[in-house]
Structure formats: structure tokens, C-alpha cells
Chain A
């Protein structure tokens, strides 16, 4: 079984965002692998271990994105490839999906293309479904578990984490999956994996290597501005005892329309 797992290099979640001269500024926040993608890598590795498969990590971005790929390698991915092309600098989710689909086709024989549920920089969560659409594969998104997978019969049963609870869905391979936090805690990179990753030469594919022209982005950024700062006031609720404090608090919550 062949699994492609997509990872993205993003600013650390603790980064302080600002808008400077109409552009988003992440400050000097370190770049890390998108936290959701760690769950995707973990899922890919678990499936590969169970079904004697191989995991190929893929990222699209600048040279910095190699860090995310090395993280995936250190966790246990068998190979890693960076897709980098100047024409992709402003690619939106629709454009990226065409690139991801082309990468899956170039790898060949892929049974599962796995994503994290979203990237914490853009937070759109569109790439999995859009990639599935381009490939013409089923999109099985927001997966908390994969109770059954039969690579021979090309069938899969998944549990989706949706607002109403868990939804069990069956589908056919090949498929595109997106993974949520409930799936499994991502493993740390192993020390042996770190050594392998630090020595790895990561190949770079251009759009020409993928055999496609620069896909058009549908989204245009006409203006970027920071949301107004929230005015926060605090009020200390006091009372003679816990019951009285709780009653006052409940009244306040109702009065403010929180509930």
C-alpha cells in the first residue's frame, strides 16, 4: 500500500500576528510542521505499519518547507519530496489542490493521500476536498478513526468527527483523507529517524517536473487589515457563599446573552 502524506511548514502557533503595510507579519516566530499534519503523518505511519505499506511525505513551498519534510522523515516516513516553483508563490487552495493531485499522479500507485484537517496559517481546511475533486477520488474528511481498511479489496471504513458526533462512512480506494486530533497522538521523531532525516537529500519537483502549467488562483487579496482589538473588561463576582456567587454569575451570563 502506498500512502502520500502532505505536510506544510507554518509559523509556530504561539506567533503574534500583525499587519504591516498591508501584509501579514508573523514576527520572528519559528517555523514548524503544521501541528495538524503531525496527526496526518501519524495516521499514515500507523496504516503503513499495519498494512506493510510505504509513506511518501510531500510539501509545497520554499526551501524552508524542507524542515517539515525532515520532521516527517524523522517520525518514520520513507521518502520526502518538496514541490517548489516561483509560479506557486501566491497559490490558493484551488491551485494547490491541482499541484497536490499532480504530485499524487507522478508518484503513481498511491492508495491514500492523507492531509491534516487544516493548516494553522490559512486555516481554510480546503485542500483535502479540493485535491479529491481534482483526482476524482472520494474525500473522507475529519477522520477520528479508521476501523477497517482492506488494501486488497480496495475498501475503507472510517469514523468522521462531526458536530453531531461520530459518522461511520465506507468508501473505495484510492481516497483522500483528512485527519483530526482524536486519531492518535503523534509520535516524537526517533533519534535514529533524526539522523536519517538530517542526512536526507530531499528532491525538489518544479511544475515542469509535475507536467502541469501554473494553476490559476481564484482568490485575490484586495486588502489585508488587522481585526479591531477586543475591549475586555473584567468584573469580580463576590458573595457570602458559593451558592450566592454561582447565582450571581448565572444571572450575569444570562444578562450578557452568553447562554
Chain B
């Protein structure tokens, strides 16, 4: 039997409640004294992205948000140049010994942040770790790579099962990251993923999940010390709050803005909206094997009807560039001789009538709900030509599940798609949606298949360029897609940072500088 003294009485419970209450209230009262976070005036550059990195193990992530942090900690074999070509990274030069072997000659005297030297062995280790199924890497570009051999301490060969003419471009980001073999032999992978060690211009300092990643300058970097003393990446899912954070001097650059968000903020004091050419390419995929879209004239009519310049002006605030086909301007293979479709509702109507649809037809445009505005606007433009396109919106997860489903009609007759060909080679834009046997292709053309093969299997740039040119002419004529635009990369910044981003939109911050405050 419990003695009364052991029991909690009502009185005690109430008293306890009161005490807890005042204890809880304390932080609330004290908080007022804190004041806003400092940061302005230092040599730390603070950036906001829409999300937190997936992991900081560069071989276990496959999204741009994670890569944007990692590209500052790690070096890649090759790297995009300010002129939007592929230039040296850890590799100084590369040649195709034969169509299935690429030889990379490495920079000497490079060391990881822990002092471990970086050479051919590290490259071999990194490539093999990436390919190891145990790593469960979501990086898919190196699908033809079978292995690496060390020729000498600063020369390494990559062997592929198929010719891979753009392998040097593919190792400019994700798959090209080089990791320290010795450290990884001693460190469990989970630990490395929380405190990564690379050769890059910044050294990892700390990571508090969903709050911030801190890096400091690597003063011993082979390319000289970076222009700022450190970087802070903050995940800010809400664009309005990140811009408010910038106005209260908690951020210097907000990245990855949509034209919508940028438009709302234009003109606010202390804030500059910057729009830089980008290569994210948008198009409509058409099911050329079913219904009215089987007719070439119908597909051409849609291309005439969708007034892309108007779309860019009205919906994207001018922050995109019209494209003749789906290979963006800065990509290898872009043929400027191919002109965009003329935008003319009359022509569209005439072509529809010729094809047997004088009154147009009803169809559906499917899009991810992130692209709702564009899809609605396209539907409106099509309506003027008599094509009644209902817009079906899906959440991004469902959209991507259906995009690559075995059923090529899972997204309906027309869907809005976009892809970022960060290799800056035309191949990345057409590899999975043109050749008839590819997963997202809805077009059966022997001619197109042959041209895809030509550019995929030749390591001769001229041959490839020719194939791309012919492919773009064919794409325009046959119109298996409605070609739209390449989207700008939009940033907001305060007066401090100076930084010129490349077209891929990757946040390589070594060249950034801060104005003296």
C-alpha cells in the first residue's frame, strides 16, 4: 500500500503544472535580447538553396542541390569553364586512345584536405567505388564505364563497354568527383558522409542538418585560395522567407528562383535580381503513335500554335530563351542554322484542317504542379488554334514515377518536360527520349535512330556535329515534340557578392568575391 506521501496529489499536480509553465515561458522571454544573427561585413558568403543536401558523400547523391555544396569541397576530373566548355579539373588533358578507352593525365602535387596525395590511384578508387553496387550510387551517367587502370601515378585510363564520346564532360560533376582512398579505408562511410574530405577550394567545417553547411577556404588549393573566406549554405524551402532573410542581412545570395518569385521581388531596396543564361530545356512530349498526334501536320500545327516568345514574355517574365529544337545554345551540337517555328495561329489552323481536324480536337497536357503556370498558358495558346487541351497536374513525385514508367502513355498524349543537360553536350538532351528503343521515346523513326547512333558512337567531334545538325533538322520537320525554351538561372543577391555563374547553374563559388563592407 502506498503511503499518502508517495502519491501525487491534485495540489502537487497543479503546482507542478505551474512551475513547468513558467520554465517553458523563460526562453520566450529571454529571446528578445538576442537580436538578429550577425554575418554581414565578414568574408563569409551565405547562400540559400531550396533544400538541404541529401548526403555529403558525393557518390551517394544525384541531385543538383547536394552537388552544389559538394562541388566546392571536391574537385572533379574535368570542369565547366566560364566559356561553357569542358576544361581541366584534376585532369589536365584527356584523349580517346580508342573509342572505348579515355586516357586522363592528372595534375601533380594535389592533396586532399587531410594531406593525403591525390593521383591516379585515387581516381581508380573513386571510379570503382562508384561502380560498386554496394555503394548504391544514384549517379547514372557512367553507365558504360567498366573500370579504370593506373598507367603511371599521374595517368589513368577509363574503359567503357560502348563508345562514350562525352565521357570527359560526364566527369565534370557527379561521377567525376575524386575521393581520398586511404581515408575511406579507415573511415566508415556514414562518418565520411557527415564530414567529407576532398581536394576542392573549400574545406568542410560543419553541417547541421536542415539548418546550414559551413565551409572554409582551402588556402592550399592548387588553383590558389578562393575569393572568399568561407561559405554557408542554408536550405530555405520558402522563397519569400529566403528573400526576407536576405533583406535582414542573413543571406547574400538566394539561388534557384522561379521567374514568379523574382518578379515579386524586383525593385525591393538592397536586392538585385540577376538573370543569367541557363540550359534547362523545356519541351512538350507528344505521343506520335496515337490519335491526332500521329499526323505530322498536327504536330507541326501545335508548334506553330504555341507562341513561345509570348509565353516567355507573359509567364516567364522574359527570363528564358526560345529554342528551335531541344538542344540548347550552349550545348555541343547546337545548330544555329535551324530556325524556330514561326508562331502563327492561321498556319496552325490550316495544318490542322489539312490533317482532317478543321475543328481542332480535345486532348490533355500533363505537367508537374511546379510547372502549372506554363502548362495553363500553353493550353490557352493551343485553344486559339482550336485544340482544347485540358491541363492535368501531378505532384512531382508522381510525375517522375510516371515519366519513366514502362507505360509510355502514363503521362497522357502530351506532357510538359524539362531537363538540364549539365554535360553541355546535345546528347544529354536527346539520349532518353528520341531513339525509338529509349524509355521516354514516343517516336519511331529509323532516320532519327541512325543519327542518335552516329553521335553516340563516334568520338570524332566533326562527325558528331554533323549528326546533331541533321537530327535538329529532322526534329523540326517531324515535330515529335513541341519545342519551347531554355530557362535562365535566376538569383537574388545583396550588394556584397560578385559572382558570375555558368549556364549549368551549379554553384561553384571559388571565383566569387565579396565587396569590402
A and B associate in one complex: no
